[in-house]
Amino acid sequence: MSESTPDPAGTGPASPFADLDRYVALPRQAGLVLSPDGTRLVTAVSTLDPARARHVTALWEVDPQGVRPARRLTLSARGEAHPAFLPGGDLLFTSPRPDPEVKPGDAADTPAALWSLPAGGGEARVVATRPGGVSGLAVARDDGTVVLVSPTMPSAVSADDDEKLRTRRREGKVSAILHDSYPVRWWDADLGPDRPRLLAGRVPAPVEPGTDPAERGRVALTDLTPQPGTALLEAAFDVSPDGRHVVTTWQEPEPGGSRRSVVVLLDTTTGERRTLLDAPDREYAEPVFSPDGLRVAALVERRTTPTLPPTRRLVVVDVALGEQRVVADGWDRWPGRPAWAPDGAALLAPADDEGRAPVVRIDLGTGGAPDRVTRLTLDDGAYTDLQVSPDGRRVYALRSAIDAPPAPVVLDALTPGVPRPLPAPVAPPELPGTLTEVTTTAEDGATVRGWLVLPAGAGADTPAPLLLWVHGGPLSSWNAWSWRWSPWVMAAHGYAVLLPDPGLSTGYGDAFAARGWGAWGAEPYTDLMAITDAAEARPDVDASRTAAMGGSFGGYMANWIAGHTDRFAGIVSHAGLWALDGFAGTTDAAYYWAREMTAEMTLTNSPHRYVDEIRTPMLLVHGDLDYRVPVGEALRLWTDLLARSKDVTPPHRFLYYPDEGHWVLAPQHAVLWYATVLAFLATTVHGSPWQAPELLG
């Protein structure tokens, strides 16, 4: 095996999940886009660069008919992203790759530009540049108007202004940022001084080489959102088919540092803005134009209070009249980004449901008839990136599952069934085990379920040690493949992995998601203990050798578990909340948590109050650039643990990443994450002497 990874099960390096260097090198597929005529599908595949220091993404074409093998479209050391088709079939994408028509500079400092790859073949060319780069785009299906996102300095009017301001800061070694709004940082990045703006334009035909660079078929961009502040943070937007309007989420500031997500309509010629969806007790997301451009579908969530969790529904609004209605209001599953049927009579969307995320079709009732919800995918898959064929008969999507990485499929848009795989750029890896389900009855009578990954060879004669792995969120569920939180790495090293959905999980209805709202240490904890009991009762699980772990909210639960039971041999807490009174004011989105975290809730459910009850060795993992759960949570927990330890060398460990955020993304850092967790489990679960991974010294 490569990096020092204890292998208590003796499985050896046959599986790529058993060798961490091989695991992080597995190609990863994401995203899917269909050409307007329905003849081409494009996806993105990430692979390790030659230095094995980062993943680089390239674009691949997949045959919608499922006949031709996938073929690679782009190749550069810097990678490509955000594919989108023009009406004529040319493929747009963003990339920081060098422009062959300009003087070479420092490639590391080149911002992403907008490129166009001709439909008939040939070399890609740059069609738009911005000093702050291009970080997202959408294209009008019929008209071809392009709308892109570009971070721009607040006082800049033109691209030249933006460049001059950036140059002055760079040459003056200035990094300070003056804020006048909230938030000031987000996930793992400081916000500002530039802010994202939306710009629009048309891609002109290419011109002959030798002309002035400013005239080489570049898009003349119109700034639609001058001085937006933080309104377009993580904006989701779409362009009307005729290119006349953009619909986008817009963050409206509120008193007390809060903000509310609304949906606005922008005129692509004048930049005039009109609010389309807004309500004081609702938040809107993922707006999408109907095929005729007359309506917009979006997600709507009820804003939370200390006693009310969010609910999520679909809503449709008439663009001209502003009249809106909730779609299938009695259907209480959590939908994802919707897609319209070509005739505008139905919406299709993925939705969390019982540990899966199937595709559903919602036929919109007319004349007083109710909306009709039909589940189209009758398997255990989780679907994303829905693309509906122009004739409305097929849906293309990426399908993943707990036991299957993302891959392209096609399914019938009208009749329920099992999707058909398409020739993919990436072959699925062989898994080192099997997948089954576990269910139990909670203390309040609710049914609690989860997935159980069993390592190869586990049985009554050779029961496997159990690892309870709690998901984050908390409004989430285990239903899809994860490269970052892979139970198959643990299975390759002999562990059975329990992936439960306790109270607060989505996909089980509004009432189930409300179990534990404002009471994180109640139903979420008791559900986890109940389903762990059920897993340990299985003959292929060794109840005498168990551990628990989780990240984010799962890290909170790991910390809570540590102070409330000593049934586990070891506990791993990644980016876990520890002292809720400190977390509530230092996280990047304090206004959100303040809606639930009353003083009573914070006091009752804060794990730090139970530090004196911790008897279990803990491994803490945290990144210094984590702004969602600030590193102070881990630092205080580490101090609290050591202050109460009677040993000169305590049994606890703290894996600290100075340059990682909420997730651990650098490939070699991910290797060390898994290696350290496995080393900790080898010591706590199997009693092996502690041996840190070699690269940690």
CB-side neighbour CA atoms (13 Å) of 210:
1
Torsion sign (Cα): 401, 404, 408, 410: negative
CB-side neighbour CA atoms (13 Å) of 397:
30
Per-residue confidence (pLDDT) for residue 207, from 0 to 100: 63
Amino acid at 24: V
Cα 55 from Cα 107, distance rounded (Å) = 17
Per-residue confidence (pLDDT) for residue 7, from 0 to 100: 42
Cα 132 from Cα 150, distance rounded (Å) = 6
Per-residue confidence (pLDDT) for residue 292, from 0 to 100: 97
- Check residue 108 and report its DSSP letter: G
Per-residue confidence (pLDDT) for residue 99, from 0 to 100: 86
If you search the block for the tokens 């990678």, which residue do you land on? 79
Buried b (16+ CB within 10 A) or exposed e, 368-389: eeebebeebbebbbbbbbbbbb
Mean per-residue pLDDT, 647-662? 94
> Which tens digits make up the pLDDT trace of 486-537?
999 999 999 999 999 999 999 999 999 999 999 999 999 999 999 999 999 9
Mean per-residue pLDDT, 337-341? 98
Per-residue confidence (pLDDT) for residue 208, from 0 to 100: 56
What is 545-585 written as a DSSP string? Answer: EEEEEEETHHHHHHHHHHTT----S-EEEES----HHHHHH
Cα 371 from Cα 316, distance rounded (Å) = 12
Cα 392 from Cα 595, distance rounded (Å) = 42
Per-residue confidence (pLDDT) for residue 685, from 0 to 100: 98
- Check residue 613 and report its DSSP letter: G
In the structure, what pLDDT confidence band is assigned to residue 273 with cuts at 50, 70 and 90? very high
Per-residue confidence (pLDDT) for residue 432, from 0 to 100: 97
How large a percentage of the chain has pLDDT more than 90? 92
Mean per-residue pLDDT, 685-691? 96
Mean per-residue pLDDT, 276-296? 97
Per-residue confidence (pLDDT) for residue 383, from 0 to 100: 98
Cα 309 from Cα 330, distance rounded (Å) = 17
Answer whether residue 281 shows pLDDT above 50.
yes
Answer whether residue 1 shows pLDDT above 70.
no
Alpha helix ranges (H) inside 237-371: none
Per-residue confidence (pLDDT) for residue 695, from 0 to 100: 87
Q: Following CA atoms 203, 204, 209, 213 in sequence, which dihedral angle do they give, to the nearest 10 degrees?
A: -70
> Which tens digits make up the pLDDT trace of 5-15?
434 343 444 68
Amino acid at 562: A
> Which tens digits make up the pLDDT trace of 151-182?
999 999 999 999 999 999 999 999 999 999 99
Answer whether residue 235 shows pLDDT above 60.
yes
Cα angle, residue 44 at apex, residues 299 and 627 outer, rounded to 5°: 55
Cα 85 from Cα 36, distance rounded (Å) = 7
Burial (CB < 10 A; 0-12, 13-18, 19+), residue 502, is: buried
Cα 662 from Cα 552, distance rounded (Å) = 8
Answer whether residue 101 shows pLDDT above 80.
no
Cα 352 from Cα 348, distance rounded (Å) = 13
Cα 688 from Cα 697, distance rounded (Å) = 19
> Which tens digits make up the pLDDT trace of 660-680?
999 999 999 999 999 999 999
Domains of the chain by range and CATH? 433-696 (3.40.50.1820)
Q: Count of residues for the chain?
A: 697
Answer whether residue 65 shows pLDDT above 80.
yes
Mean per-residue pLDDT, 568-572? 98
Per-residue confidence (pLDDT) for residue 219, from 0 to 100: 94
Mean per-residue pLDDT, 230-256? 97
Helices and strands per DSSP (H, E), number in the chain: 11, 39
Q: How far is CA 580 from the centre of its chain?
A: 24
Mean per-residue pLDDT, 336-343? 98
Instruction: Tell me the whole-structure pTM to 2 decimals.
Output: 0.95
Cα 677 from Cα 191, distance rounded (Å) = 32
Per-residue confidence (pLDDT) for residue 367, from 0 to 100: 83
> Which tens digits make up the pLDDT trace of 6-51?
343 434 446 899 999 999 999 999 999 999 999 999 999 999 999 9
In the structure, what pLDDT confidence band is assigned to residue 211 with cuts at 50, 70 and 90? low
Residues whose CB is less than 8 angstroms from the CB of residue 367 and which lie 6 or more positions away in sequence, other chains included: none
Helix H or strand E segment including 632: helix 632-643
> Closest Cα to residue 479, out of 334, 605, 317, 314?
334
Per-residue confidence (pLDDT) for residue 368, from 0 to 100: 83
Per-residue confidence (pLDDT) for residue 554, from 0 to 100: 98
In the structure, what pLDDT confidence band is assigned to residue 107 with cuts at 50, 70 and 90? low
Answer whether residue 209 shows pLDDT above 80.
no
Per-residue confidence (pLDDT) for residue 103, from 0 to 100: 64
Mean per-residue pLDDT, 118-137? 94
If you search the block for the tokens 């006693």, which residue do you land on? 307
Per-residue confidence (pLDDT) for residue 108, from 0 to 100: 56
| SS3 assignment, position 82 | strand
Per-residue confidence (pLDDT) for residue 12, from 0 to 100: 44
